[in-house]
């Protein structure tokens, strides 16, 4: 699970480098203070994940580029919106619940906190976050010198946290590792020890995370508000009809477009035909899905998820596979993905009716691009559910709003 988050963050370079720096430095400081370095690492790694969670129709990180900027968050308050949204994500996933309060309070000054282990780790993430942000803005300043700049903020940190940070930043090992992370070097070996000591996840956890992933991906564009969920449900029902593992196909559907998190809104929302360059970027989302999901390469759902743009005639992508090289599961998700997309409005066309969408999929079957067997499974599955009810986004939006309101009510003047 944690390796998947690392792979995801690597597709958003600036956010990834910042998150890896904070995770690494938090673990070093925690170890110096005899606190749990693995909890500190995990908290630092996903402390800013709330930046990519849509709230009221928009994410806080508006654009994916090389600049790490919180464009919609409110400065000058200890409880930022991205902290609340990150806390929601971790609270939503059972095995991440213990770090939810840490993520929530990672901008709280020490004066607002009791000196518990949880709050000490929150404060560790806070000072690590400030160090990282400073190194990203001031590339010619060494990490050790940053504490001079942080002297004005010294009262924001517990004295022992500030002193431990000073000590670890005085070591060449930490200085050079922070520089290497910022330079974009491979951090796999550096982070591996902590990854191995973080909680792994079962299929229940994958589905919980997958719901959030599908919400993030689908809400990036007003034209795909329920696409991923539809693909997951269609694939699940078609697999049931075929006597295949429906849970695996459901998970494959939830994650098949995770690579779109790295695609610019300008491309996803463009009202006209994409240029060749833009289309190449859009196509690459499936490659990013492959990279992000690679930790699960031995799971049965992995290949269907990353093969959803392959076609029987060998003209799909990214592997250019032909029909005999693919499983029925691969072909099921391909049909489910095309059918779901045809039901949705696009900037350049209106949504199709179910009958029209089925007719268009049937034409792709005749052209030997999509599987006849998978198409028949789709047709026979449609009677099993109400298409208008396939919408997980509405449920998650409501849960996010309730969570935000509860936090605001609890912390009052600390927030926004």
DSSP 135-180: HHH-TTS-HHHHHHHGGGGGGGS-HHHHHHHHHHHTSHHHHHHHHH
Dihedral sign computed on CA atoms, order 69, 70, 76, 77? negative
pLDDT at 88: 93
Per-residue 3-state assignment (H helix, E strand, C coil) for 76-135: CCCECHHHHHHHHHHHHCHHHHHHHHHHHCCCCCHHHCCCCHHHHHHHHHHHHHHHHHHH
Domains of the chain, CATH where assigned? 2-200+398-414 (no CATH), 226-390 (1.10.3210.10)
Task: Please state the separation of Cα 97 from the chain's center in Å.
Answer: 17
pTM greater than the 0.95 cutoff: no
HEC profile for 234-264?
HHHHHHHHHCCCHHHHHHHHHHCCHHHHHCC
The reported pLDDT for the residue numbered 66 is 45
What does the block give as tokens for 334? Answer: 């391909």
The 10 Å Cβ neighbour count of residue 70 is 17
pLDDT of residue 58: 66
Catalytic residue of the set 260, 283, 331, 356: 260
Contact 50, 35 (CB under 8 A): no
Active site residue 260: yes
Q: What is the pLDDT along the chain (416 residues), one digit of tens a residue?
A: 778 888 888 888 788 899 999 999 999 999 999 999 999 999 999 999 888 887 776 666 654 444 444 444 444 555 688 899 999 999 998 889 999 999 999 999 999 899 999 999 999 999 999 999 888 877 777 666 787 888 888 999 999 999 999 999 999 899 889 988 888 877 777 777 777 767 677 788 888 888 888 888 887 766 666 889 899 999 999 999 999 999 999 999 999 999 998 887 778 777 778 899 999 999 999 999 999 999 999 999 999 999 999 999 999 999 999 999 999 999 999 999 999 999 887 777 788 888 999 999 999 999 999 999 999 999 999 877 766 555 666 788 888 889 988 888 887 656 55
**DSSP H helix total and E strand total for the chain:** 21, 0
pLDDT at 76: 52
pLDDT at 129: 93
**Among 289, 224, 232, which residue's Cα sits nearest to residue 260?**
289
pLDDT at 59: 67
How far apart are alpha carbons 410 and 79 in whole angstroms? 11
pLDDT given at position 333: 98
| 343 neighbors 208 (Cβ within 8 angstroms) | no
């Amino acid at each position: 699970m944690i390796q998947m988050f690392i792979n995801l963050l690597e597709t958003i370079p600036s956010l990834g480098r910042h998150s890896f720096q904070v995770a690494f430095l938090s673990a070093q400081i925690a170890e110096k203070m005899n606190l749990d370095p693995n909890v500190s690492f995990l908290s630092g790694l996903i402390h800013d994940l709330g930046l990519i969670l849509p709230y009221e129709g928009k994410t806080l990180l508006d654009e994916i580029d090389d600049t790490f900027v919180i464009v919609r968050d409110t400065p000058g308050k200890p409880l930022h919106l991205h902290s609340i949204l990150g806390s929601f994500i971790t609270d939503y996933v059972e095995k991440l619940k213990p770090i939810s309060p840490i993520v929530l309070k990672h901008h709280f000054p020490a004066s607002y906190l009791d000196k518990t282990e949880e709050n000490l780790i929150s404060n560790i993430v806070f000072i690590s976050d400030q160090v990282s942000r400073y190194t990203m803005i001031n590339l010619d300043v060494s990490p050790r010198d940053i504490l001079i700049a942080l002297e004005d903020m010294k009262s924001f940190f517990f004295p022992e946290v500030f002193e431990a940070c000073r000590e670890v930043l005085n070591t060449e090992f930490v200085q050079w590792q922070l520089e290497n992370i910022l330079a974009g070097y491979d951090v796999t070996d550096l982070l591996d020890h902590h990854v191995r000591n973080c909680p792994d996840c079962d299929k229940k956890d994958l589905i919980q995370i997958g719901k959030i992933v599908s919400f993030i991906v689908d809400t990036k564009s007003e034209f795909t508000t329920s696409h991923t969920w539809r693909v997951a449900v269609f694939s699940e029902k078609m697999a049931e009809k075929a006597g295949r593992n429906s849970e695996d196909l459901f998970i494959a559907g939830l994650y098949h477009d995770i690579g779109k998190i790295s695609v610019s809104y300008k491309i996803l929302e463009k009202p006209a035909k994409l240029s060749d360059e833009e289309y190449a970027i859009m196509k690459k989302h499936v490659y990013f899905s492959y990279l992000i999901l690679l930790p699960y390469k031995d799971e049965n759902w992995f290949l269907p998820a990353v093969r959803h743009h392959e076609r029987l005639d060998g003209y799909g992508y990214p592997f250019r596979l032909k029909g005999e090289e693919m499983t029925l599961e691969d072909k099921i998700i391909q049909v489910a993905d095309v059918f779901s997309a045809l039901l949705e409005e696009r900037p350049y066309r209106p949504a199709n009716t179910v009958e029209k969408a089925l007719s268009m999929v049937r034409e792709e079957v005749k052209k030997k691009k999509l599987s006849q067997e998978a198409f028949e499974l789709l047709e026979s599955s449609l009677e099993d559910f109400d298409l208008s009810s396939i919408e997980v986004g509405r449920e998650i939006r409501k849960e996010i709003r309730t969570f935000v309101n509860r936090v605001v009510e609890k912390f009052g003047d600390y927030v926004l």
